[in-house]
């Protein structure tokens, strides 16, 4: 399986990420023009991890988003449904408790976590609404949701340039750097089809979360949405 289709069949998406796991972080840095680390730093600051804080890092991949949370003293579980990603993560970060988990059917009890975060993974689920409701279920009352995801640039001329880059330059770069360049064609298509900031906020609220806000990064290329369970 080289790439998933836009119906986002879970088995196909998992197989696709299995195939790119070994070089995923490197290729992401190249494709984002080096902005990935800055986006993750901002997301970490919004999460504001504290010692003993119980965090589920969903779609954690190789754990690059989980590492700073653990370093801050949080009790973080990096979770993913791709065996390839989990294997790559365990190899580079053996001290983290990587766990296989499907965002649509989380293997955790109600109200277990203080915070659930998902970075660049929510759009890969085939039922966003169900994933957001599952997140609500496993977060305790008063807990938070933090979603970092590609979004819609707020300046129209830049938005046009960005979309053209996604659909033309990104696959070309991936062909030279990735073991599975077709996967990045899917990723480009999934970004283009994803709701903008306001539409995603409405989805989060409809799933039962409250006080939904967002912070634009790199002119809206990425947005970090935050919400609370009341």
Q: What is the DSSP letter of 213?
A: E
**Tokens 């590609």 correspond to what residue?**
150
Convert the pLDDT of each residue in 139-182 to its tens digit.
999 999 999 999 999 998 988 888 887 777 777 776 776 667 77
Nearest Cα residue to 60 out of 109, 122, 138, 9: 122
10-228 under CATH 3.40.50.150, yes or no: yes
Per-domain residue ranges for the chain? Answer: 10-228
Average predicted confidence (pLDDT) for the chain: 87
Convert the pLDDT of each residue in 26-56 to its tens digit.
556 655 667 888 999 999 999 999 999 999 9
Convert the pLDDT of each residue in 78-121 to its tens digit.
999 989 889 999 999 999 999 999 999 999 999 999 999 999 99
Beta bridge partners of 134: none
The distance from CA 10 to its chain's CA centroid, rounded to whole angstroms, is: 15
The distance from CA 96 to its chain's CA centroid, rounded to whole angstroms, is: 18
Contacts by residues 172-179 (CB-CB < 8 Å, ≥ 24 positions apart): 173/30, 173/31, 174/27, 174/31, 177/23, 177/26, 177/27, 177/30, 178/20, 178/23, 178/27, 179/19, 179/20, 179/22, 179/23
Convert the pLDDT of each residue in 200-230 to its tens digit.
999 999 999 999 999 999 999 999 999 999 9
pTM value?
A: 0.86
Instruction: Confirm if 156 and 222 have CB atoms less than 8 A apart.
Output: no
């Amino acid at each position: 399986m080289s790439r998933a289709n836009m119906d986002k069949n879970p088995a196909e998406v998992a197989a696709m990420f299995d195939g790119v796991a070994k070089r995923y972080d490197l290729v992401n840095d190249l494709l984002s023009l080096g902005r990935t680390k800055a986006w993750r730093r901002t997301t970490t600051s919004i999460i504001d991890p504290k010692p003993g804080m119980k965090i589920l890092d969903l779609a954690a991949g190789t754990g690059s988003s989980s590492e700073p949370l653990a370093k801050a003293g949080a009790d973080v579980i990096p979770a993913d449904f791709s065996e390839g990603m989990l294997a790559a993560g365990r190899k580079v970060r053996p001290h983290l408790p990587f766990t296989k988990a499907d965002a649509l059917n989380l293997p955790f009890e109600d109200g277990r976590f203080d915070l659930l975060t998902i970075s660049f993974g929510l759009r890969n689920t085939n039922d966003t609404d169900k994933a957001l409701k599952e997140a609500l279920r496993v977060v305790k009352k008063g807990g938070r949701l933090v979603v970092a995801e590609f979004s819609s640039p707020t300046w129209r001329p830049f938005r046009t340039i960005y979309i053209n880059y996604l659909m033309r330059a990104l696959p070309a770069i991936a062909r030279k750097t990735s073991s599975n360049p077709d996967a990045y064609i899917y990723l480009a298509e999934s970004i283009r089809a994803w709701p903008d900031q306001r539409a995603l906020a409405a989805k989060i609220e409809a799933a039962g979360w409250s006080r939904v806000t967002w912070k634009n990064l790199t002119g809206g290329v990425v947005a970090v949405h935050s919400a609370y369970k009341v």
